[in-house]
Structure 1
Amino acid sequence: MTDKNELEALNNDDEVFEKPPIKEAVIVIRFESKACSLDLIEEVVKELPEKYSFGEISALSGHSINFTVGKSGNSSLKEEVDRLGIKVTSEKLNLVVQFKRNELVVSKLAPYENWREFKEVGKEIWELYASKLSQLEIKQINLRYINELEIPLDKGRVELSEYLVNEPQTPEGMPVDVCNFFSRVDIPYDEVNAIAVVLQAFKKTNGEYISVILDFNIHSVESEVKLDNSNIWSLFDEYRRIKNKAFLGSITEKSKEMFRCLPQH
């Protein structure tokens, strides 16, 4: 449930839903640091606050295959495993954090409470990680929200235009029914040096409803304004406002009724 502080933090044209369709919210910070190592990441993980109840710890690995040809003409394939970092999981708080040598990824899985709390989690973990890094340069930040709309079927059919502002359309003269769809638009926001990527896609049907994914990913682009710890969190606030505008602009009033339990203030 969204608290009073969250309501007051929203713009006037935003609306808070008590049961939002958010499946995952993600904060990503990509960086360069010559001092980052797996030993350093292990040190950071040991210092994570106990309040997050991170119980499951696993290695993040990447695989590569090298193809070589010897002088005799014989060839060989060799698979190599590269340790990329560490992933920690809190089942109690539905949090997943990935520490990589050039990236921090903080994910909040459903149920999602509110931005204020999620932002504070991401900020606290990043500040701990950043405090261990020397010659730190932040290269990019991302804020991503993956929503799943479960739209009820009526006798096996549904008018998607009743739920989606930009419903999939077939070419003129062809059947209007579709069994799959995917769309993507990239929208520049020059005032905050970012691009909002909006994805809309069919996921599945079970005979009672169909699932539609609305995926909003706002990421920074290179500019003269350098990213650092003094400005990234205010930028994340701006990205969230862009995400809210994209979400509310993608769904109809009928969709909002499925998530709306709190009155507007």
Structure 2
Amino acid sequence: MQYVAPPIIEAVVQYSFSDNLDIKVVSSACDVLMDHFASKTDRRSVSSTIDLQTAQVKSDVQHIGFELVNGDGNRILILDTNSVVLSQKGTYSGWGDFVSWIDAELTNIITLIGDVSVSRLGVRFVNRLDVPLQDNLGRFEDFVTVYPRDFSFGGTNVTRFIVSFSREIPETNHGFNITCGTVESPAPASLGILLDIDAFAVFLDGRPMSNLSETLAELREVKNKVFEESITDAAREKFGVRKNA
């Protein structure tokens, strides 16, 4: 189902590599990719160990990649030694436009680092629904189907919650993670409901990064099915269903 005003605030695709790349390869690739991005930021991982006898803490800092951001700040490419992430924030212009951008960036990346093997592909969409407050309560159950069960102690009004679970889809290599919970809303007298859906495929033997277009489309369908299962007709009315969809 297509909506006039979908509640998407971020769309993300992540390709996790079967084997880590050399940071020098990542650095050289990002230098070239910077020709159509506005900023580049180093990404580092920090791990710490504690010697229980001396109480000394040792930290290890490793350079793992770069984050590239376009001039509008709404498209982000993260190339690390173990993955590439493409993220679009703000106004969502549709799957076709999003995938066209992904395809263009992947073509550049594959040229620079090779057609690397991928062990996991993820399609993650973060949605925020802003619902009106009534007597300082937001009736989230009118808009989403994922929320805590009734709890006999402490009354019936739930003011804040977060629910998260994962499922693997039988007879496939697909699965999904879903998180639903309350967040602050930028709209006045409203409660925000975050609906975060991550559909994924796992490849035990790896897949070439250039050969995942079909899987990407399949994961989009998984994400859409989970989304539709997670919202009510009141939410659909709020988003506005496209009549020609």
**TM-score range, shorter-chain basis?**
0.7 to 0.9
Between the aligned residues of both structures, percent identity stands at 19
Please state if 1:152 is matched with 2:132. Answer: yes
1:257 maps onto 2:221 in alignment? no
Tell me the TM-score normalized by structure 2.
0.87
Q: Deviations over 1:222-247 (max 9, x none)?
A: 456x4224541111101111111111
1:193 and 1:223 in contact (8 A); partners too: no
Distance 2:159 2:194 in 1: 14
The gaps in structure 2 that reach 5 residues or longer are none
Q: Which runs of 5+ in 1 are unaligned?
A: 1-14
Which shows bigger deviation, 233-242 or 90-99?
90-99
Between Structure 1 and Structure 2, the one with more strand by share is 2
Question: 2:227 maps to which residue?
Answer: 247
Q: Could you tell me which residue of structure 2 aligns to residue 41 of structure 1?
A: 26
Does the Cα contact within 8 Å between 2:120 and 2:202 map onto a contact in 1? yes
Q: Displacement of 1:47 after TM fit?
A: 2.6
Runs of at least 4 residues off by over 4 Å = none
Q: Measure how far apart 1:181 and its partner are.
A: 1.2
CA offsets 1:188-235 (integer angstroms, 9 cap, x no match): 2235411111211111367701111101011123456x4224541111
1:214 and 2:198 correspond: no
**Alignment RMSD:** 2.5
Higher-Rg member (1/2): 1
- Label 1:42 to 1:166 Cα distance change in 2 as closer, same or farther (>3 A): closer
Q: Is the 8 A contact 2:117 2:209 kept in 1?
A: no
Residue 94 (str. 1) matches residue 74 (str. 2): yes
1:33–1:133 contact (8 Å) kept in structure 2: no
Deviation of 1:174 (Å): 4.7
Please name the residue that 2:45 is paired with. Answer: 62
**Paired residue for 1:169, among 124, 135, 149?**
149
State which drifts further: 119-128 or 210-219: 119-128
Q: Does 1:204 align with 2:189?
A: no
- Tell me the matched-pair count: 244
Give the C-alpha shift of residue 114 in structure 1. Answer: 1.0
